[in-house]
Amino acid sequence: MPNSRAPSSDPTRRAVLLAERRLRRTIRSDLHAFAGHVLAPLGQVPAAHHRRMLDELAAVSRGETDRLMLLLPPGAAKSTYASLIFPAWWFIQHPESQVIAASHTAALAQHFGRRLRNLIGEQQARLGYALRRDARAAASFSLANGASYYAVGVRGPLTGRRADLILIDDPVKSQAEADSASARRHLWDWYRSELLTRLRPGGRIVLIMTRWHEDDLGGRLLAQEVAQQALGDAAATGERWRCLRLPALAEEADPLGRAPGEALWPEWENAEALARKRAAIGERGWAALFQQTPHPPEGLLFATTAIETIAAAPAEARRVRAWDLAATARTHGGDPDYTAGVRLARTPQGRFVVEDVVRLQGGPGAVEAAIRATASRDGEGIPIALPQDPGQAGRAQVLYLTRQLAGYVIHASPETGAKATRAAPVAAQVEAGNLAVLRAPWNPAFLDELRDFPAGRKDDQVDALSRAFSYLLGTARPAAQLPFSLLSR
């Protein structure tokens, strides 16, 4: 009777099979384990910031977070974890789900899609699902478990697509694109009007990016959330973003518990290497791309750290209220220019003090009312400096406001030269420590705008400050007044 016992090699084979089953169970239930498994053949081990990213992404999969923003510097391997490892694991947890992945160009989106497709093909036995043979293009593939993946460039076509998960990885292509107001607006419009409308109820969004500009997609989403909270209309969009910001060099209260100045991934790029890179790219690029704060704390033109905050206005000073005018009311989702009025004082010792700032987004009626109310509060002893646009319309506006402000000293002058050129004289006084601000609620917005100028989104307060400073120095050139008789023609 033949021996029915298994060959002597069977225990080894059984051990291998058991180990494989355990591995499959582990990687299918644990994103950390799956990441370690994928990277082990490459000799890579997830660093501390990678493990933190995996924690946040796993929370998205569980539904604990529905809007996640990952802000990390270049070279941090954020795309490897968020756009490659995570979606492959997501499809285990969410069979039959649909994923849309967007990047700044279709070529980059397809690159991520190709890498993901190849990873799934290599690991399909352990993942528990496979690619469908009839739909496996890099930009669009389907899985045997009913799930699908679609890669698209920013502003690319999305008609007919739906998503349970949207991955937005590197939506900004370059510094030139980031600095373009029209490019930022087009990206914002595409996100709101096309991409966001593809999301199914209960769907989730992960934004993975390096910051480029104060008003880039991540910055605008965060600013909109803050503005809605301040206005009390949080239910307007329902978006609540969880933001993980990991700068290249640690700051105070670092999310990873690093000491200030410690490198994010020292095994890859240590603090010394980062210091050389910082010197090469300059403070603006460093602050945005590597620290994820698109404005150096010292300021680009204005050395805002040299501005002192004082508790009381000077008793004796020469003063002026200068305005920068706009006339567009704020609409939901819009962010027009502000009308800003800065009251500046110059003491007998030659020191300058910003005593008050009025700022609003409103139509012509609201602007006129604000100027009149501010003048009444300031008193007739404080002159009013107004900008005069070229042409008859600009002259007519100044003349109209002058009529409304009877009894006040009105000084109108044209704006000539670039904004930065006009701001340079007062910026020099700031650098010399010769400008202070009176402590008030408007301080943060005012100082932030000075710090970000000329790269920031807004410059209305800077323009008004430059006009006030020019007036007090006596360098503002009065505009030629148009006779009343000509205005009647």
Q: What pLDDT score does 136 carry?
A: 76
Q: Do residues 137 and 33 make contact, with C-beta atoms less than 8 angstroms apart?
A: no
Q: What pLDDT score does 181 carry?
A: 79
Amino acid symbol at 274 = L
Dist. CA 240–CA 193, nearest whole Å: 18
Dist. CA 371–CA 345, nearest whole Å: 18
Write the CA distances from 477 to 167, 266, 283, 341, 403, integer angstroms.
Answer: 54, 56, 35, 19, 21
pLDDT in tens, 244-274: 999 999 999 999 999 999 999 999 999 999 9
The number of residues in the chain equals 489
Joined tokens for residue 122: 């290599």
Q: What pLDDT score does 229 carry?
A: 66
Q: Is 134 exposed, middle or buried (0-12, 13-18, 19+ CB in 10 A)?
A: exposed
Q: Do residues 215 and 295 make contact, with C-beta atoms less than 8 angstroms apart?
A: no
Q: Give the predicted TM-score (pTM) of the model.
A: 0.65
Dist. CA 246–CA 53, nearest whole Å: 10
Report residue 30: phi and psi, to 5°.
Answer: -130, 115
Domains and their CATH numbers in the chain:
17-246 (3.40.50.300), 304-487 (3.30.420.240)
Which residues of the chain are under the pLDDT cut of 50? 1-2, 4, 6-8, 234-236, 479-489
Joined tokens for residue 347: 């003491």
- Interaxial angle between packed helices 106-127 and 31-39, expressed in degrees from 0 to 180 and rounded to the nearest 10: 100
Joined tokens for residue 118: 């190849």
Report residue 171: phi and psi, to 5°.
Answer: -75, -10
Q: What pLDDT score does 488 carry?
A: 27
Amino acid symbol at 456 = G
